[in-house]
């Protein structure tokens, strides 16, 4: 494994966070370099660019983007506050909620850094073509941050490189641009990036954005705006333009060191672990108590997600076929899953009779299920790290579960009998690559080639070409190791537009579980409210842990009240 791009923060400009309100002079690092002394040569330019990339890694940016699944049908948030999204998911947030403010600020931080580079790079002693390349890279990043703001808040104020923050910080009170204006601004940045970015980087700069990355984001922006033909053209360039992207043959390996740098990764947050390179991904929000350093379980998989996984032959899964009455009777669920422990509560005294049936069923399901989720009584034990040593642990379900990692069991940090994630979660100590739970070395994908294939399939389907859409869906299914659509039985049929859309919706849910994509998918499809409002979040035996509440106003988040208080020209979103 070779991590080649290290995001060193640009301390001279890292405090340029608020682009819509007052600039706090006390935050400016006066003891650091200034714009006048910093932007001299290519080394400065590269450090400035790494400062932009470093904005991605913050928790309230994209560093733990997997927690966005807490807001959807496929995830459950268990920790109050920002990282479990519970205030938002349960309808208890308002315009003063810290989450809305923090994400807003973090996106504008990335925009400020991008603008700073675009402004100053022109004065750096470099070849003109290299300057244009840096500008293209910064404009891609600016587009990426603005696109996140657009998806979450709608129209927002546009600040470009003509804004001189050091001169205008006390008079930056622009009104909101329209959604169309923001989108056009994003697309203009991406057009420039598509024209000037390189197709590839050498090994020393692997991980930086490329021409293919720009086309992929361009397609995504157009798709979200239902410009299906234009989006298809951009995605076709990604697939056929000679960029070398391909599906990685091992789905599980994609989310481990090695696969995380494969040709499937079009754009990813670059992470590094280890004692001397602690610059990684916080994994304790998604891991379990047997994981390296423990966890706090902000995100766990929903039972809806687990039940989505088909059998390998493409048949839909149905609990009632195995255990009649399971779907309607929690007593049946308890009989299927409950074990009893010995008198000391340390070891299982008796497993449920269903263990063999469960293990056989797991083996017959879509392999992505066991690659993604730790399942009760699976033969595929979790490779934990307990008391500073490797320990194989299994998942046990019991009424008052006394099991813990010391005795060889995985557990939810809050004591709930939920499913747990395997995806992204460290195994053992990752051969020494992880030294604390805040710094897993695994890169976190923001755009994968599988994502492009399924988005292009969506474009084809909307444009009436169902056969080409199915071909692309089948590429993803074939890599997964499950039956291809339209290959025989009626349960594999997908010919009409609605049938193909249902297949796309299904594949995107399970393919990208714990990647944070589902939230924007449900929003753009107009399904967020119908699929999450009043959704009971239950454990594996049907116990209700909480209930989601998604009102109409959540289609757009509120403009943070703090920003409105500073800038009277900002108009609040409807309902807030």
Residue 168 banded pLDDT, cuts 50, 70, 90: low
- Give the SS3 label for residue 454: helix
Cβ neighbours, 10 Å, residue 520:
19
pLDDT at 403: 87
The helix-helix angle for 211-224 and 128-153 (nearest 10°) equals 30
Note the pLDDT tens digit of each residue in 243-265: 999 999 999 999 999 999 999 99
Q: How far apart are the first and last CA of the chain?
A: 47
Of 466, 467, 459, 424, whose CA–CA distance to 445 is shortest?
424
How many Å apart are CA 81 and CA 95, to the nearest integer?
14
- Give the SS3 label for residue 508: helix
Q: Which whole number is the average pLDDT over 99-105?
A: 95
Model pTM?
0.93
Note the pLDDT tens digit of each residue in 360-404: 999 999 999 999 999 999 999 999 999 999 999 999 999 987 889
pLDDT at residue 332 is higher than 80 = yes
- Give the SS3 label for residue 73: coil
The helix-helix angle for 449-462 and 211-224 (nearest 10°) equals 40
Do 27 and 33 meet the contact criterion of CB atoms below 8 Å apart? no
pLDDT at 269: 96
pLDDT at 35: 56
pLDDT at 26: 29
For 103, phi then psi, to 5°, come to: -70, -40
The helix-helix angle for 179-196 and 128-153 (nearest 10°) equals 150
- Give the SS3 label for residue 354: coil
- Give the SS3 label for residue 248: coil
- Give the SS3 label for residue 338: strand
Cα-atom radius of gyration of the chain, to the nearest Å?
24
Question: Higher model confidence: residue 89 or residue 82?
Answer: 89
Note the pLDDT tens digit of each residue in 426-472: 999 999 999 999 999 999 999 999 999 999 999 999 999 999 999 99
* 3-class SS shares of the chain: helix, strand, coil, % to 5: 45, 10, 45
pLDDT at 31: 36
> What mean pLDDT value characterizes the chain?
91
Cβ neighbours, 10 Å, residue 128:
8
Question: In percent, how much of the chain has pLDDT > 90?
Answer: 84
Note the pLDDT tens digit of each residue in 472-521: 999 999 999 999 999 999 999 999 999 999 999 999 999 999 999 999 99
pLDDT at 167: 61
Sign of the dihedral defined by the CA atoms of residues 377, 338, 546, 290, in that order: negative
Contacts of 421 (CB under 8 A, 6+ apart): 286, 287, 288, 299, 300, 301, 372, 373, 374, 514
Of 451, 455, 448, whose CA–CA distance to 230 is shortest?
455
pLDDT at residue 28 is higher than 80 = no
Do 267 and 515 meet the contact criterion of CB atoms below 8 Å apart? no
How many Å apart are CA 397 and CA 283, to the nearest integer?
23
pLDDT at 344: 87
How many Å apart are CA 491 and CA 487, to the nearest integer?
10
Residue 15 banded pLDDT, cuts 50, 70, 90: very low
- Give the SS3 label for residue 400: coil
Left (φ > 0), alpha (ψ -120 to 50) or beta: where does 495 sit? alpha
How many Å apart are CA 108 and CA 159, to the nearest integer?
9
CA atoms within 13 A on the CB side of 87: 13
pLDDT at 142: 98
Q: Which whole number is the average pLDDT over 109-134?
A: 95
């Amino acid at each position: 494994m070779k991590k080649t791009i290290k995001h060193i923060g640009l301390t001279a400009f890292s405090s340029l966070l608020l682009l819509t309100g007052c600039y706090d002079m006390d935050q400016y690092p006066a003891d650091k370099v200034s714009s006048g002394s910093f932007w001299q040569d290519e080394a400065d330019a590269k450090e400035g660019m790494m400062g932009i990339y470093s904005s991605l890694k913050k928790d309230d940016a994209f560093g733990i983007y997997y927690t966005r699944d807490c807001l959807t049908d496929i995830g459950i948030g268990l920790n109050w506050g920002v990282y479990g999204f519970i205030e938002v998911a349960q309808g208890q947030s308002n315009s003063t909620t810290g989450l809305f403010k923090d994400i807003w600020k973090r996106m504008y931080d990335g925009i400020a850094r991008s603008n700073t580079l675009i402004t100053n790079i022109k004065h750096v002693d470099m070849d003109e073509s290299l300057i244009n390349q840096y500008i293209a890279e910064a404009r891609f990043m600016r587009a990426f941050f603005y696109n996140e703001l657009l998806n979450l808040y709608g129209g927002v104020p546009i600040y470009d490189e003509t804004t001189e923050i050091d001169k205008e910080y006390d008079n930056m009170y622009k009104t909101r641009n329209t959604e169309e204006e923001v989108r056009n601004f994003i697309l203009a940045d991406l057009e420039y990036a598509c024209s000037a970015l390189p197709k590839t980087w050498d090994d020393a700069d692997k991980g930086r954005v490329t021409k293919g990355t720009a086309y992929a984001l361009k397609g995504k922006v157009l798709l979200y705006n239902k410009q299906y033909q234009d989006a298809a053209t951009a995605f076709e360039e990604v697939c056929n333009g000679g960029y070398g992207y391909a599906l990685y043959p091992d789905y599980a390996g994609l989310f481990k060191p090695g696969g995380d740098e494969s040709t499937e990764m079009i754009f990813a947050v670059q992470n590094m672990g280890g004692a001397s390179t602690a610059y990684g991904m916080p994994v304790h929000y998604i891991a379990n108590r047997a994981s390296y350093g423990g966890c706090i379980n902000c995100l766990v998989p929903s039972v809806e997600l687990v039940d989505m996984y088909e059998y390998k032959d493409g048949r839909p899964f149905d609990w009632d076929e195995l255990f009649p009455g399971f779907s309607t009777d929690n007593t049946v669920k308890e009989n299927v899953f409950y074990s009893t422990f010995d008198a000391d509560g340390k070891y299982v005294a008796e497993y449920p009779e269903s263990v063999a049936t469960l293990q056989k069923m797991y083996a017959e399901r879509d392999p992505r299920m066991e690659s993604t989720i730790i399942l009760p009584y699976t033969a595929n034990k979790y490779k934990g790290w307990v008391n500073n040593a490797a320990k194989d642990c299994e998942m046990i379900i019991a009424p008052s579960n006394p099991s813990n990692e010391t005795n060889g069991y995985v557990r939810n940090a809050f004591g709930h009998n939920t499913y747990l994630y395997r995806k992204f979660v460290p195994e053992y100590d990752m051969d020494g690559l992880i030294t604390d739970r805040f710094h897993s070395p695994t890169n976190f994908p923001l755009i994968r080639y599988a994502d492009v294939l399924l988005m292009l399939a969506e474009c084809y389907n909307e444009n009436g070409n169902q056969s080409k859409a199915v071909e692309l869906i089948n590429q993803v299914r074939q890599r997964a190791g499950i039956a291809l659509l339209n290959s025989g039985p009626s349960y594999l049929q997908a010919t009409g537009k609605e049938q193909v859309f249902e297949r796309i919706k299904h594949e995107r849910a399970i393919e990208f579980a714990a990647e944070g994509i589902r939230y924007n998918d449900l929003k753009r499809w107009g399904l967020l409210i119908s699929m999450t409002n009043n959704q009971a979040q239950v454990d594996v035996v049907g116990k209700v842990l909480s209930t989601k509440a998604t009102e109409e106003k959540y289609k757009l988040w509120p403009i943070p009240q703090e920003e409105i208080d500073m800038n009277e020209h900002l108009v609040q979103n409807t309902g807030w």
